[in-house]
Amino acid sequence: MITYEWLYWLAGAFFAVWATLSLRDRLFGNAAFWGLLAGSFFIGSHLPDFINGVLVLALVAIAGLGGLKRSQPATSSSAERDLLSSKLGNKLFIPALIVPVMAVAGTLLYNYTPLHETGLFEARRETLILFGIGVCVALVAAIVWLRPPALAAAEEGRRLIDSIGWAAILPQMLAALGAVFALAGVGDIIGGAAGSAIPEGSIFLTVVVFALGMALFTMIMGNAFAAFPVMAAAIGIPLLVETYDGNPAVIGAVGMLAGFCGTLLTPMAANFNIVPAALLELKDQNAVIRQQIGTAIPLWVCNVIIIYVGAFLLWN
């Protein structure tokens, strides 16, 4: 059975290559950072929690002390790219499309045909595993077709990962922060505070506090999944469903979407908001959030209205 552990070995190999190439360029901070990450992928499953924690602190120390530098591996000039682009034509899109097609078509094929009975992939992990397979196929296809110099693929990958820099592990780090928040009981404190902020007797204002709590707590945690159980337990179920007799399906579904509006507004949702700014090499790391504010706020208002109308006015 193919499990996540296989993917970790694959990713570990990629990061180890980037660490080695950084070493060759005498970028020692980069080499240490990507090397530690490679180590985490290779043997993280077999290390005690405390050693993994020390590894996290070491990664953060390197990034925090400015140890990660932009690298400048040799690449093609923009004139060469124009020339290659017209020579190679639209076929250039094919390797780029292999990965999503493999992940999506593969997942559908695997789940809706007897293939899943083979148990080839670890349960519920098939999409990411197929993504990994798709990357390998696309990489081999591109190398066979384009015949680049031996290290070109690795060096181009390093150019991109170094332009992303520390932001590359921020989403994973935020997930770890969420776990510590949960351990410290932050959710219960917030839920209690939100629950006590409710004006009595007004269904509409209770809906507003519920939706606002979802959005704000999502902004703090960086994802609505952490906020939902807390807000549902504090307000959604005891007040909106039980006291005011609202439609639970609407309160649950649209409450979650009110949280998604918060996701659009927070640097804590790094993989959606901060990583793309780094990927697109924007000067302002909050540029993507700035473009989302004007959509998120009116949409949040729509969600409040949808809950109020759908769960109460139409339901009772």
Residues 281-300 that bind another protein (CB under 8 A): 282-284, 287-288, 290-292, 294-295, 298-299
Q: Judged by CB under 8 A, does residue 57 bind another protein?
A: yes
* Angstrom distance (rounded) from CA 113 to CA 131: 19
Contact 159, 40 (CB under 8 A): no
Nearer residue to another protein within complex by CB, 209 or 274: 274
Shortest spacing between CB 166 and another protein, in angstroms? 5
Shortest spacing between CB 118 and another protein, in angstroms? 20
Going 42 to 43 to 49 to 55, the CA torsion angle's sign is negative
Q: Judged by CB under 8 A, does residue 23 bind another protein?
A: no
Number of H helices, E strands in the chain: 14, 0
Kindly state the tokens that stand for 152: 């070109």
Kindly state the tokens that stand for 160: 């991109």
For helices 224-231 and 170-183, give the axis angle rounded to 10 degrees.
20
* Angstrom distance (rounded) from CA 301 to CA 204: 12
Shortest spacing between CB 26 and another protein, in angstroms? 21
The CB-side HSE value for 18 (13 A sphere, CA atoms) comes to: 30
Q: Which of 20, 52, 71, 243 binds another protein (CB under 8 A)?
A: 52
Stretch of 22-30, 113-121, 200-208, 242-250 contacting another protein, by CB under 8 A: 242-250
Q: Judged by CB under 8 A, does residue 16 bind another protein?
A: no
Stretch of 23-31, 37-45, 113-121, 205-213 contacting another protein, by CB under 8 A: 37-45
Stretch of 23-31, 113-121, 202-210, 231-239 contacting another protein, by CB under 8 A: 231-239
Q: 298, 224, 233, 208: which is closest to 268 by C-alpha?
A: 224
Q: Which residue has the tokens 């070493």?
A: 23
Shortest spacing between CB 149 and another protein, in angstroms? 10
Window 174 to 203, contacts with another protein (CB under 8 A):
174-181, 183-186, 188-190, 192
Q: Judged by CB under 8 A, does residue 70 bind another protein?
A: no
Number of residues engaging another protein in binding (CB under 8 A)? 144
Scored b (16 or more CB within 10 A) or e, 56-69 reads beebeebbeeebbe
Instruction: Please report which helix (H) or strand (E) contains residue 296, including its range.
Output: helix 287-308
Shortest spacing between CB 97 and another protein, in angstroms? 9
Q: 8, 102, 139, 136: which is closest to 110 by C-alpha?
A: 102
**Residues 108-127 as x/- pattern, contact with another protein by CB under 8 A:** x------------------x
**Residues 142-181 as x/- pattern, contact with another protein by CB under 8 A:** xx--x-x---xxxxxx-xxx--x-xxxxxxxxxxxxxxxx
Q: Judged by CB under 8 A, does residue 67 bind another protein?
A: no
Q: Judged by CB under 8 A, does residue 128 bind another protein?
A: yes
Window 71 to 90, contacts with another protein (CB under 8 A):
75-76, 78, 80-86, 88-90
Q: 120, 128, 118: which is closest to 4 by C-alpha?
A: 128
* Angstrom distance (rounded) from CA 75 to CA 163: 14
